[in-house]
Amino acid sequence: MKPTVNLYGDEWSAEIYDYQVQSLEDLPLWQSLAESAGGPVLELACGTGRLVLPLARAGFCVTGLDASRFMLAVARRKLAQEDHEVRARCRLVEGNMSGFTFEEGFDLIYVPARSLQILLTRDEQRSCLECCARHLLPEGLLAIDVFNPMLSKLQARRVEEGPDEFSGTDGTPVKWSAVTEYDLAAHRLSSAWRYGHGNAGGAAAANEYSLEMRYFFRFEMEWMLEACGFAVEALYGNFDRSEFAADSPEMIFVARKTP
Ligand SMILES: C[S@@+](CC[C@H](N)C(=O)[O-])C[C@H]1O[C@@H](n2cnc3c(N)ncnc32)[C@H](O)[C@@H]1O
């Protein structure tokens, strides 16, 4: 049976996020884009502030927008521990990336960690990109990371991952596994994530979540960006800016507004 709670939609999944996702391998790319674009910077779907906080520490004025009050609660708690200058450069806002309004414009808007794929409908995707166009300053950059769909996974239709083990919030082991089903007609995937762990009394417990995503192929992304007023300047296949290839894990689009 499908889990009923959406990933990022409760306190437990928000608290475990930073323990599971410890890598910052994508940070140098976003930081170098921020350096070339200048600031201020907007991250859509900023989550627990994994990237917002290091960028603010590096001197950028960063706004992070996220729809989950649970993820933002973690980000705000972490931000409260930063020094005054970092806190002053950072703003965390609850909102939907498919419809947001800020009074000011940004030199860089980025959507990391494949979060654009959480927007399932064409209307949401278009609305998000149009909001980006409205909020980007004339010379600004839009950067979006989505995964490169692997034909082997699509052909399998059903993919099991894990178990992977990591230390949870109290240092005890958490065992993660997932089952993902691909709908090739809808270009969607539906995952059930399971975290096995010990509860406060030490007994075995499990938390289960669902995650629905769209997958995009290269030229759908390019068309969407163009239709929403952007010209694609670069497409990278990974965070080291390597050229996009058939077996690249990521598709990272860097675009500017068309004049
Ligand atoms: C994979 S996490 C990425 C978090 C962060 N960007 C990072 O790189 O660590 C996806 C995030 O997207 C957020 N999210 C999902 N749907 C959203 C929406 N419609 N608008 C804004 N945020 C959304 C979730 O709450 C979650 O924090």
Domain containing residue 63: CATH number: 3.40.50.150
CB 190 within 8 Å of CB 180: yes
Same domain, 62 and 170: no
Same domain, 91 and 124: yes
Same domain, 82 and 210: no
Query: Does ligand 1 lie within 6 Å of residue 64's CB atom?
Result: no
Summarised one tens digit per residue, pLDDT across range 147-179 is: 999 999 999 999 999 999 999 998 999 999 999
* Residue 172 burial by Cβ neighbours in a 10 Å radius (0-12, 13-18, 19+): exposed
Same domain, 196 and 207: yes
- Do the domain assignments include residue 165? yes
Summarised one tens digit per residue, pLDDT across range 220-240 is: 999 999 999 999 999 999 999
Same domain, 82 and 200: no
Ligand 1: atom nearest CA of 119 is 19
- Do the domain assignments include residue 3? no
Query: Does ligand 1 lie within 6 Å of residue 50's CB atom?
Result: yes
- The band of 259, judged by pLDDT with boundaries at 50, 70 and 90, is confident
- Two tokens, residue 114: 């494949």
How far apart are alpha carbons 62 and 59 in whole angstroms?
Answer: 9
Q: What's the domain range around 163?
A: 151-214
Overall number of domains in the chain? 2
- Given a cut of 90, is residue 1 above it in pLDDT? no
Query: Does ligand 1 lie within 6 Å of residue 45's CB atom?
Result: yes
- The band of 2, judged by pLDDT with boundaries at 50, 70 and 90, is confident
Same domain, 64 and 155: no
What is the model's pLDDT at position 4? Answer: 83
- Do the domain assignments include residue 21? yes
How far apart are alpha carbons 49 and 37 in whole angstroms?
Answer: 20
Same domain, 187 and 200: yes
- The band of 66, judged by pLDDT with boundaries at 50, 70 and 90, is very high
Same domain, 73 and 176: no
- Given a cut of 90, is residue 252 above it in pLDDT? yes
Helix (H, G, I), strand (E, B) or coil at 232: strand
CB 113 within 8 Å of CB 209: no
Of 214, 234, 249, the residue at which a domain comes to its end is: 214
Residue type for 12, please?
W
Same domain, 133 and 101: yes
Same domain, 138 and 165: no
Ligand 1: atom nearest CA of 21 is 9
- Do the domain assignments include residue 1? no
Same domain, 77 and 21: yes
Summarised one tens digit per residue, pLDDT across range 135-145 is: 999 999 999 99
- Do the domain assignments include residue 58? yes
Same domain, 111 and 194: no
Summarised one tens digit per residue, pLDDT across range 174-208 is: 999 999 999 999 999 999 999 999 876 777 899 99
If one residue of 22, 66, 132 were mutated to test the ligand 1 pocket, choosing by the most ligand atoms within 8 A of its CB, it would be 66
Residue closest by Cα to atom 19 of ligand 1:
96
Query: Does ligand 1 lie within 6 Å of residue 47's CB atom?
Result: yes
Question: Residue ranges of the alpha helices (H) in 109-180?
Answer: 122-135, 151-156
